[in-house]
Chains A and B, each alone.
Chain A
């Protein structure tokens, strides 16, 4: 394959070789479109950070049948824990499934490492016929008569022209902002994730997390871990390493003055976490932003000659218990790729025709899910959910299980006391329950 020259004209230029960009490129290139995929990293994944639990196995199986047999996956996920913590106590809900939905092809979810996975996924775009141009920064879109006609790249020659530009440039979405599709984002709309990968022997991982073979586990923590900052923490098992991290709403980091890496140490030192990490050795530290406000921070997704997909479009679902972004990035990327094919067929890349993309986001389950969970971000970052309820759960079990020679105490008075101390009223509890139900049940 010869290297693309900037004088070339492409049907589609995709900016960013993350899951959104590579998915878009695969779909468009397979249909025979002339696709250029531009990535600023030395290789795809070099700039990218996720937990990472990839929940889109069945969906990706439709695009690349049996993908997990060729992709660099770590473990398939059959155990999921949700853990409420106070500074000294942990209350967990343990889910384990040996049902074929989880433990047999195409599996439900896998742990992955992005620098490895993204490289593989971008290679699938190349195999489909797309050009991959790495180590190249896109500095903005080129507009002519109100229409996007290409991108400015930071190379000597400067300009690459295309009928369609698909912006898959991630959480900061500078391209969407520069094109006037996204406003400047607010600090409460994004969270900062700091992460570590710790090396640990396979045998120790199996034993500690009660796993056999290639089974994997993800643990999600809510409560005191982030101190007063709003957020949570995670711990995922890889083949021979652990991925762990703390995620905190940026506005609350500013309000509390908490340093992200100090929260990380606080998490690792927690009595419920530390024993799981014993003997593990730091391999890499990383950090990345996460768009967490879903529906509310969605930019305009379509302009003449341009579409926005993945994190750049805010398609990252933060339900409070876990983050799903990789799968929605792929789904929206695929929808954008399909819209590109239809526009190419009629040789019309005006906004009107490209609006087809927003229609396709329904059958690709992007809009459906984001609308269903549109109340979750508010609920999750509520003060009481973050601090009071985990504390109450921990304290009540603490009390219930304690046998100290004093008369037994029932739990309700303990709840009432904890609520009094925090200034929360019973009506708040009811309101929160209702909001929880509205966020997750219907």
Chain B
């Protein structure tokens, strides 16, 4: 099938999930962040804004592209590093 939902896309990607998250948000800073630019740019759609203003995030299906880190304008709100060697996304075709 040609047209696919985001969930279907993500199912084609292989991830070797590390135990520890490689991206960590500061809940307080995110709650008071008006822009929440991370939400729309993330190609894996990993940032979910909640009604109370906080942001739900799960690192497990991350492409390690760095876009969230690039757009987050709140100093220290998003701690970003690479997963341990060999872990994380593993492309086979791209």
A positions within 8 Å CB-CB of B: 40-42, 45-50, 113-115, 134-137, 139, 154-155, 171-172, 185, 187, 190, 192, 194-198, 241, 243, 250, 253-254, 257-261, 265, 268-269, 274, 277-289
Once the chains bind, are A198 and B65 in contact (CB under 8 Å)?
no
With A49-B91, A185-B70 already in contact, the answer to whether A288 and B40 are too (CB < 8 A) is no
With A185-B70, A250-B67 already in contact, the answer to whether A48 and B40 are too (CB < 8 A) is no
With A136-B85, A137-B82, A253-B41 already in contact, the answer to whether A41 and B90 are too (CB < 8 A) is yes
4 new A-B pairs (CB below 8 Å) besides A45-B91, A47-B64, A250-B71? A41-B86, A47-B88, A185-B70, A195-B94
In the complex, what residues of A have CB within 8 A of residue B70's CB?
Answer: 185, 187, 190, 250, 289
- B78 to nearest A CB, angstroms? 13
Instruction: Tell me if B's interface is mostly helix, strand, loop or mixed.
Output: loop
Once the chains bind, are A42 and B41 in contact (CB under 8 Å)?
no
B positions within 8 Å CB-CB of A: 1-4, 6, 8-10, 12-13, 16, 35, 37, 40-41, 43-45, 63-67, 69-71, 81-86, 88-94
In the complex, what residues of B have CB within 8 A of residue A195's CB?
Answer: 94
- A14 to nearest B CB, angstroms? 15
In the complex, what residues of B have CB within 8 A of residue A49's CB?
Answer: 91, 94
Once the chains bind, are A137 and B40 in contact (CB under 8 Å)?
no
**13 pairs, CB–CB < 8 Å, chain A vs chain B:** A42-B90, A114-B94, A115-B92, A171-B66, A196-B9, A250-B41, A250-B71, A254-B37, A260-B43, A265-B4, A287-B67, A288-B63, A288-B65
In the complex, what residues of A have CB within 8 A of residue B88's CB?
Answer: 47
- B91 to nearest A CB, angstroms? 5
- B3 to nearest A CB, angstroms? 6
In the complex, what residues of B have CB within 8 A of residue A113's CB?
Answer: 93-94
Listed residue (B8, B13, B71) with the most chain A CB atoms within 10 angstroms of its CB: B71
Q: How far is the CA of A196 from the CA of B69 in the complex (A)?
A: 23
In the complex, what residues of A have CB within 8 A of residue B69's CB?
Answer: 172
In the complex, what residues of B have CB within 8 A of residue A282's CB?
Answer: 1-2, 4, 8-9, 12
Listed residue (B3, B4, B37, B65) with the most chain A CB atoms within 10 angstroms of its CB: B65
Q: Which residue of A lies closest to B62 (CB)?
A: A287
With A48-B94, A115-B94, A197-B94 already in contact, the answer to whether A287 and B4 are too (CB < 8 A) is no
Q: How far is the CA of A137 from the CA of B84 in the complex (A)?
A: 6
In the complex, what residues of B have CB within 8 A of residue A47's CB?
Answer: 64, 88-91
Q: How far is the CA of A113 from the CA of B93 in the complex (A)?
A: 6
Q: How far is the CA of A438 from the CA of B90 in the complex (A)?
A: 41
In the complex, what residues of A have CB within 8 A of residue B81's CB?
Answer: 139
Q: How far is the CA of A293 from the CA of B69 in the complex (A)?
A: 18
Once the chains bind, are A260 and B66 in contact (CB under 8 Å)?
no
Once the chains bind, are B40 and A257 in contact (CB under 8 Å)?
yes
Q: Which of B3, B10, B66, B93 contacts A172 (CB 8 A)?
A: B66
Q: How far is the CA of A288 from the CA of B44 in the complex (A)?
A: 11
With A192-B43, A194-B43, A287-B65 already in contact, the answer to whether A42 and B86 are too (CB < 8 A) is yes
Q: Which residue of B lies closest to A197 (CB)?
A: B93
Once the chains bind, are B2 and A192 in contact (CB under 8 Å)?
no
Q: Which of A192, A196, A254, A281 contacts B65 (CB 8 A)?
A: A192
- A108 to nearest B CB, angstroms? 23
In the complex, what residues of B have CB within 8 A of residue A46's CB?
Answer: 89-91
Once the chains bind, are A286 and B82 in contact (CB under 8 Å)?
no
In the complex, what residues of A have CB within 8 A of residue B92's CB?
Answer: 115, 284
Listed residue (B1, B2, B16, B40) with the most chain A CB atoms within 10 angstroms of its CB: B2
Listed residue (B1, B10, B16, B86) with the most chain A CB atoms within 10 angstroms of its CB: B86
In the complex, what residues of A have CB within 8 A of residue B9's CB?
Answer: 196, 261, 282, 285
Q: Which of A171, A254, A288 contacts B71 (CB 8 A)?
A: A254
Q: How far is the CA of A41 from the CA of B94 in the complex (A)?
A: 14
Once the chains bind, are B91 and A261 in contact (CB under 8 Å)?
no
Q: How far is the CA of A277 from the CA of B44 in the complex (A)?
A: 23
Once the chains bind, are A286 and B66 in contact (CB under 8 Å)?
no
